[in-house]
Structure 1
Amino acid sequence: MQKHAHHPEELSMITCSYAPDFNRCERLCRSVDRWVSGDITHWLVVPARDLSRFRKLSNGRRNIVAVEDIVPGSFKQLPRSHRWWLDRRAWPVRGWVMQQVTKLSANAVTSAEFIIFADSDLQFVRPFSRDHVVDHDQLRLHRIAGAKNSGEHLSWHHKAADLLGTRRQYFGHDYIGQLITWRRSHLEGLQKHLEDTHSRPWYQGVARALKVSEYILYGAYIDAVVGIDNSGHFSCDEDLAHCCWFREEADALAGGSYPLSAGAVAVLLQSNLGLSDQDEQRIVRDLTASSLSPVEGLAL
């Protein structure tokens, strides 16, 4: 696990990916290099066995590291499987849960205080800079009051409460979205809080959970433990990404009847929509052609 000196003014972007998403990740990287301000470093975190494939995406602002090198606890990916990992006691961990453990290990990836997550199925289509998420040293926190307070989302809140050691509750806001931002210092505080509460490594409770959301866990920690007013975060309920969760939304976006949101700097085409690589490239190409000029000084 890497150790870093703290750099409070920096913003780092982190993408967790793996071999089946390589093509999408490659397109994300191209869009980052075109639209994202060059002072924002980009880190790709992938399983060790996928490193050789992803290394060609490295450049002056992008680094590739292995999941196994930054996540504590000696997790191992099962041979010939992208979906399952084992912890050091041979407890099976599903791949989507392992990705959450990886995001919660982001403080081992970068020394930056400000962290932003960009998923592989996201592509930037408009200029993005630090000013979109930082205001006078306050970092944006995606936080929508009263939203998604039932069903599976409520179960994620209850699991966050269990991990944080509070009564089971809905924490008053939804914290799930795209281009989510965290403070590194609070992530480290969250890890310590989980360990102090349960007297075990922080990652163990997360990895062994059947229902868990890393974004809800962090947001609930800010609201219930730190306090939003003392957190160095400002609350924001607008999404920076135009999200297509269903095929009909992607078709409507492509056809012009579901126009790109005014405040969106990126578009999410959910990876399970059944779109071909050519479909996704065409949609993003058409959006980019009608968008603003790229960030000054970035290569086309």
Structure 2
Amino acid sequence: MNSRFVPSPETDVLRQTPTAAIVTASYAPDLERCRLLCDTLDRYVSGVAHHYILVEHRDVVLFRQLENNRRTIVDERDLLPRWLHAFDDPLSLFRRRIWLSLKTMPLRGWHVQQLRRIAISAHAGEDVLIFCDSDVAFLKPFDCSAFWCDGKVRLFRRDGVLSGEGHEEHRIWSRNAGLALGIEPSEVSTHDYISTLIAWRRETVAAMCARIEKIHGRNWVEVV
């Protein structure tokens, strides 16, 4: 475990008052938006033990200016497998980045941001991970205790959205998630779980990664 991550004491059962961390995946062009997020988070948000900002290796120094005693800048090299490498993408005239390896298809920045969000569960020590995009700003007081009730974490869900017209791309994502988790196509959810501000129970994310690796016999990053 990287020394920058200091897990909080925990048990196998979610405590009545769980600890929470906000997690933001960002990149250099979003620095000023992320700065606004940090300023408003520090001003308005309570009930959060720490804020992790997950960035590509070359952006770490740039984002360090946002770091403080409650906010850590996390290098993706501390989260993702060493065989995944970032390069300037010639197809975008080198304006964007692409992640390459011998084990995956070429990945774009959006893909890798999702991998970072999942991977932080193996390093953070808080019970609840609240994912907040870097282009979000808080406008009034918000308490992270809103994300749990009776010892359970509240997961965002819009019921049955994918069963209606449209959402073709989301249905593909849902089927692929089912394949990764070993769920039969007929049992794949038609609910939508995508939102700007969502909470996951950290132990559940870790268990998900372990299940993917058990089913496929490969690293979960490679499977996803």
TM-score (norm 2): 0.84
Match in the other structure for 1:75: 84
- 8 Å contact from structure 2 (residues 37, 135) kept in 1: yes
Q: 1:26 to 1:56 in 2, by over 3 A?
A: same
The separation in 2 between residues aligned to 1:38 and 1:96, in whole angstroms, is: 28
Q: Measure the CA separation in 2 of the matches of 1:186 and 1:58.
A: 28
Q: Which residue of 1 aligns with 2:21?
A: 12
Query: Structure 1 length as normaliser, TM-score?
Result: 0.64
Question: Which of 54, 59, 63 is matched with 1:45 structurally?
Answer: 54
In the alignment, is residue 205 of structure 1 matched against residue 223 of structure 2?
A: yes
- 1:87 is matched with which residue: 101, 121, 141? 101
User: Paired residue for 2:176, among 152, 159, 178?
Assistant: 159
Identify which of structures 1 and 2 has the higher relative contact order when contacts are C-alpha pairs closer than 8 Å and 6+ apart.
Answer: 2
Secondary structure of 1:120's match? coil
Question: Can you list the C-alpha shifts for 1:225-271, whole angstroms capped at 9, x where unaligned?
Answer: xxxxxxxxxxxxxxxxxxxxxxxxxxxxxxxxxxxxxxxxxxxxxxx
The code of the aligned residue for 2:218 comes to R
Q: Secondary structure at the match of 1:196?
A: helix
CA contact (8 A) 2:20 2:47 kept: no
* 1:35-64 C-alpha deviation (Å, 9 max, x unpaired): 111643111111111111100101121111
SS in 2 for 1:148: helix
Matched, 1:133 2:133: no
Q: Mark the CA change 1:143 to 1:6 in structure 2 (over 3 Å): closer, same or farther.
A: farther
How far residue 143 of structure 1 moved from its aligned partner, in angstroms, is 1.3
The counterpart of 2:214, out of the listed 193, 196, 200, is 196
Task: Write the distance in 1 (CA, Å) between the matches of 2:130 and 2:137.
Answer: 14
Give the match for residue 54 of structure 1.
Answer: 63
Percent identity over the alignment is: 35
Task: Give the secondary structure class of the aligned counterpart of 2:155.
Answer: strand
In structure 2, C-alpha distance between the alignment counterparts of 1:114 and 1:93, rounded to whole Å: 27
Residues 90, 152 of structure 1: alpha-carbon distance in 2 compared, 3 angstrom cutoff? closer
Once the 2 structures are TM-superposed, how far is the Cα of residue 193 of structure 1 from its aligned partner? 0.6
Runs of 5+ unmatched residues, structure 2 = 89-93
Task: Report 1:172-187 matches (<5 A).
Answer: 172-187=190-205
Gaps of 5+ in 1: 207-300
Cα deviation digits, residues 161-180 of structure 1 (max 9, x gap): 11111222440321111211
Matched length? 206
Superposed CA RMSD in Å reads 2.0
Does structure 1 conserve the Cα–Cα contact (< 8 Å) formed by 2:156 and 2:195? yes
Contact conserved, 1:85 with 1:92, CA < 8 A, in 2?
yes
The equivalent residue for 1:63 is 72
Match of 1:32 in 2: 41
Structure 1 position 89, deviation (Å) = 4.6
Quick one: structure 1 residues 6 and 76, their matched pair in 2 at CA, closer, same or farther if it must change by over 3 Å?
farther
Preserved contact between residue 12 and residue 43 of structure 1 (Cα < 8 Å): yes
The amino acid across from 1:71 in the alignment is L
For residue 182 of structure 1, what is the amino acid of its counterpart? W
For residue 17 of structure 1, what is the amino acid of its counterpart? S
Deviations 1:144-193 (CA, angstroms, capped at 9, x unpaired): 11113341111111111111112224403211112111111111110011
